[in-house]
Structure 1
Amino acid sequence: MRGDDQAVPTAPAFPGRRWLLPSAVAAELDPDAGRSGRPPRRTVRDWIVDFSCFLLAVAIGLMVADALPGAQDLPHAVLVADQLLGALSCAAVWLRRRRPLGLAAVTVPLGFLSTTSAGTAVVALFTLAVHRPFRYVAWVGGIQLALIPVLVWVRPDPDLEYGPAVVWTVLLTVTLIGWGMFVRSKRQLVLSLRDRARHAEAEARLRGEQAQRLAREAIAREMHDVLAHRLTLLSVHAGALEFRPDAPRAEIARAAGVIRESAHEALQDLREIIGVLRAGQPDDPGRPQPTLAALDALVAESREAGMKVVLDQRVTDPAAVPASVGRTAYRIAQECLTNARKHAPGTQVAVTVTGGPGDGLTVTVRNPAPEGDVPPVPGSGQGLIGLTERATLTGGRLEHGPCEDGGFEVRAWLPWPARA
């Protein structure tokens, strides 16, 4: 996992050029659209399609107008009125995007008054099926289908008989409705896929941020566990030198050596942690992490620092303990020794490790109550909280609290799967 610079980028609002999209689709895809409250502006594609629909309505009206005088013996005034209504209906095609339902509803009675408005009726029904839900299409389309027999009887076709004309008109109407609904479903599919892509990008971004946060928390826990142990050694021995300036030379030299070694180890650990933060790879900490096999070295280091530690390790093969379990057990013992050094100096700390494959690993650290008054040592309690979280993440549990004799005990159980 990388840093912030590796977060998932936000996708552009339009996958391609905007002028290729219908205005309705562009408005849905544009996150800033619709804030002004005005209808979306026509794109270049919209102008081309609207002009084509206008030409189609005019062409159908002209063909019908040429057939009117020969098909019916109508007065000249009626023909002029028919064509005038047809021209007005063709002009109304430019309103089809903003008023699709109104235009389609008007063309239903208009078909009985003007045959030349047939082209507008075709365009209006198709537009209604594209831009409005099915319930509106069902009402208007159903009324048109029901009135087709009456319309063909009132205005018969000169080239077809009554029955074939009705069938032909019904098929044309159903085809227009089906084609419009197909276009609408395709647009909704595009919007749905785009919405899914946005949700997927948002989820990926959140997962990345969560992984980064968890990695930082893991690094923080590691820094606390490692540096707290080193710095406590520094504090204890520096305090001893401060309060006992007349101590024997050998004891002063030993304390100075512990201080120097602890400072060196703390600087090395801090350098590695900072390197992990810079590289953004918390899973590659540089040097191998400690396991249960390193517990003897930890106890020896604590004894050299002046602590009284008794280790009772009943695990026959510490190297066989799973790495994650062994590392957690080591960190638990390390944190408990650090706490005992701060809050119960001079007492004897008992560290017990038992268990085996299938039974789990039990780590117990106990210290009696210190003798006399112990100077207060600042602490936030985050160490025990971190240990509990470590044990829980491993699949185990951790309990801690005071004992009846005034001491303090930490007891943890960690899973150790049986060998296959």
Structure 2
Amino acid sequence: MAGRGSEGAPHGQPGGRTAELRERVGEFVRDRVIPYEPVLDAGGPDAVAALGVLQGRAKQEGLWALPLPAHLGGRGLTFGEYAELAEAEGASDHGPAALGSAPLLDVSMLERHAQSGVRDRYLRRLVAGETRTCYAMTEPEVPGTDPFMTGTRAVRQPDGRWAVTGRKWFTSGAAGADLVTVLARTDGQTGDREGLSLLLVPTDSPGFRVVRELPVLGATGQWEIEFDQVGVPADHLVGARGQALAIAGERLQRGRTLRCLRWLGQAQRAFDLMCERAVARGGSRGPLAGHQLVQQQVFDALLALRTTRPMVHEAVALIDAGKDAHIEVGLAKVAAARMLQQVTDAAIQVHGAAGLGPDTALPALFRTGRAARILDGPDELHITAVARRVLRGYGGLSPTRP
């Protein structure tokens, strides 16, 4: 199973409390979360109940909300400290929710940019797992890489409230969320580079509707939602009016890097499964581990893991230090997505037909790897953005060129 000290695992990175926590988190995900995956993947009331059991155990074992602020009820790990155990937590898609770190981006955003009344009302409940949030940015028929084309609008009312109208999709966890942060146009016209704002919308507000679930290659958890003149209190504007993209950019850098760390954890899990299969599976010509083509798969997968991991942690270090990390995050995002797909594909190949069926996690891991090349911006977006930044350093492109 993942995280049992295989040759693909990181060596000598964390120390002190982080090393001990990483070991405990890895054991929790392996021994408690992964056995529940079939129920959690299926969704519905049984999944909600199972997640509640896991969250209760995480709290009992002192593993709850490790990267969330201590003054709000978390353990207060820095982003850099949390990065050292995010791989182990992310070996299962359900690890962050089970261990209470899933709202990290929302808590960080609201603590920095929400008004005091909103912080007082929601933050402790978010950290405790009593309130759930989601983040709605992408819209049907609108390129996700072009937020300036956002069609959702928020109109200021005479009493100071906002009326939000529009539709969003591929919103993770929207059906079970109590709050949704919405990117909406508050000023200007569609296509303008200014005038976009973020609003925190309670999902029990009249006019909010979950339209449908959007399975991703068969997996649950993504939703299309609609806002029909949804009233939002004036103090639920997140940050300054018209400053959404600055806040979203800050959030995206951390979010993309967290995804990379979790993809590393899932790739490590696939690598371990592949090696265990190669050693255990035998035939008339001996175990698979003795076949050179299988050894080639192991080598290539290990190389992908070992070369991607330091790239991701370079991005972590820059973000943790408050430095610009656009290039490093773009490189890490593309590399980690490709790596997860490559390693999982190799593991499936070594498993043969068994790798395609329901008896291993490999189909789900492969699905995540394929989706990873589109989530949080497709590969093409990051490739061109990184290349342009690099070329500008050589005087090759104007800073104002899109």
Where is the helix percentage greater, Structure 1 or Structure 2? 1
TM-score normalised by L of structure 2: 0.27
Higher RCO (Cα < 8 Å, 6 or more apart): 2
Where is the strand percentage greater, Structure 1 or Structure 2? 2
TM-score normalised by L of structure 1: 0.26
